[in-house]
Amino acid sequence: MSATLARRARHSSLQQRNLGPTSLTSLIQRRNSSISFEKIESDLLSRQLPLLSDTPTGTPSILLDATLSDILPPFLRPWPGSTATWDKRTSAAYRPGHHLLYFPPRNPLSSLLPDGTDPAQSPGAPFVRRMWAGGRIDFLPTKGTKFRMMGERMTCLERITKVSTKGKEGEEKIFVTVERRFTGLTAKRRHPWFQADSVGTLPEDQLRKALLHDKCCSLVEERDLVFMRERTPEQAADAAKMTSKYVKHPHKSSYSISLTPTPSLLFRFSALTFNAHRIHLDKSYCNNTEGHRNLLVHGPLSLMLMLEVLNRYLADNYGVTRLGNGGTTQNRAIASIQYRNIAPLYAEELMNVCLHDRKDGGFDVWVENQDGGLAVKGTAKTVSAAGPKGESSKHITEQLLVGDSKGESPTDTTPGSVAEVPSRS
């Protein structure tokens, strides 16, 4: 009898060492049955992410412009914040979206997860498949200090503000909202919220507290990340072959551009954003592990393309103003955007970046896949550079996007009215 039990035990051990797809799925399901989502949420919300610092200069923006020059049409008018002739004065203001090129996490290679991503926002196994689900950006959170590309030290506070679990048992997805708050304060500038002459001399706990106030921020961004369960090789192979049904956007576009993203484009954007996520770089990994038919277009790249297309439309259709310092800026500026990624976009497949002008300062922005279906859906608010009481367009624009020539915080001027756009997220 004991010999029979011993043989059965050895047989069971051998089966576990040579798990087939079905057995592996069962093992994963058993391991997942004890997951505490409350503990995952508590752990993520309690994490204190490191402060990030950077000294933004024009080089990353110039390289992005070079990368997109074959894709996007040129500005028909002199374009604001041109980095082609960047210097401390004429190009101090960044173009909306270019902040994505700065403040990357400083992770050594040994700390990256197997998929190449930063572990700071990850809930951990078995939720190892990460995607960019959407987000919101407020480009004008305050009338104070603005995001400037002047080679001066800036700080980014990153924190997890929301965690939620969606989906039925066994198919849960964990959504993590990461907020990033940027300050343009430097050693040459002061702000009422700070009790120190520079960011560098302010204790970290005070700096973190101060950055929670919009008056200290030059830009506020929220990123929605979604983490999904790992897949077996069999599940990944099946998913890579699946086709999905898509919906169309209800509006006809006022303006659009078409492009076919290449692996080279994805590589360059990964490099510019210090992003080693393998879904953008390793086709075999996409097919066999994640279950995608090709390399995925970055969520931030889709966002950048929508902002670049909208920025060109504003400059070409609402005009630009020449500033006293020799620079130019457009008469309407992007104040905020919110967007949601609905379906993946793939390398080597046609995509269309579209917008619909509501003629009230609001815009619908979206990206279509090669079948014309919605892949990204968003809304944007724009603000007039002229104040509501007929204030000087030159004066308001300069304060709004550049600041004064002495390097001090801009004075408290009130930007033009912002058109309210209802959320469609």
Q: What is the pLDDT of residues 194-231, one digit of tens each?
A: 444 444 456 778 788 888 887 778 899 999 999 999 99
- For residue 259, the model assigns a pLDDT of 96
User: Which residues have C-beta within 8 Å of that of residue 102, sequence separation ≥ 6?
Assistant: 54, 56, 60, 154, 156
Q: Residue 91 — φ and ψ, nearest 5°?
A: -130, 35
Task: Give the span between the Cα atoms of 173 and 171, in whole angstroms.
Answer: 7
- For residue 150, the model assigns a pLDDT of 61
The alpha carbon dihedral of 184, 187, 190, 192 has a sign of positive
**125-139, 230-244, 379-393, 395-409: which range is least confident on average?**
395-409
pLDDT at 1 over 60: no
- For residue 147, the model assigns a pLDDT of 65
- For residue 53, the model assigns a pLDDT of 87
Going by their DSSP bridges, the two strands 173-183 and 320-322 should be labelled as unpaired
- Mean pLDDT throughout 74-94? 49
Q: What is the pLDDT of residues 265-274, one digit of tens each?
A: 999 999 999 9
Q: Where are the alpha helices (DSSP H) in 35-192?
A: 37-46, 59-68
Q: What is the pLDDT of residues 28-65, one digit of tens each?
A: 444 555 789 999 999 999 999 998 988 888 889 899 99
- For residue 398, the model assigns a pLDDT of 33
Q: Residue 32 — φ and ψ, nearest 5°?
A: -80, -15
- Mean pLDDT throughout 405-412? 31
pLDDT: is 176 or 21 the higher one? 176
Q: What is the pLDDT of residues 128-168, one digit of tens each?
A: 999 999 999 998 776 545 566 566 778 899 999 999 999 99
- For residue 161, the model assigns a pLDDT of 97
Radius of gyration of the chain (CA): 24
Task: Give the span between the Cα atoms of 268 and 275, in whole angstroms.
Answer: 10
- For residue 297, the model assigns a pLDDT of 98
pLDDT at 356 over 50: yes
Task: Give the span between the Cα atoms of 143 and 149, in whole angstroms.
Answer: 18
- For residue 321, the model assigns a pLDDT of 73
Angle at 27 between CA 225 and CA 287, to 5 degrees: 50
- For residue 242, the model assigns a pLDDT of 86
Pair of tokens at residue 159: 């924190």
| Closest CA relative to residue 65, chosen from 305, 415, 381, 237 | 305
- For residue 137, the model assigns a pLDDT of 96
pLDDT at 355 over 90: yes
Q: What's the mean per-residue pLDDT of the chain?
A: 78
Residue 73 pLDDT grade (very low, low, confident, very high; cuts 50, 70, 90)? confident
Task: Give the span between the Cα atoms of 398 and 88, in whole angstroms.
Answer: 14
- For residue 93, the model assigns a pLDDT of 61
pLDDT: is 10 or 141 the higher one? 141
pLDDT: is 26 or 295 the higher one? 295
- For residue 138, the model assigns a pLDDT of 93
| Closest CA relative to residue 344, chosen from 375, 304, 368 | 375
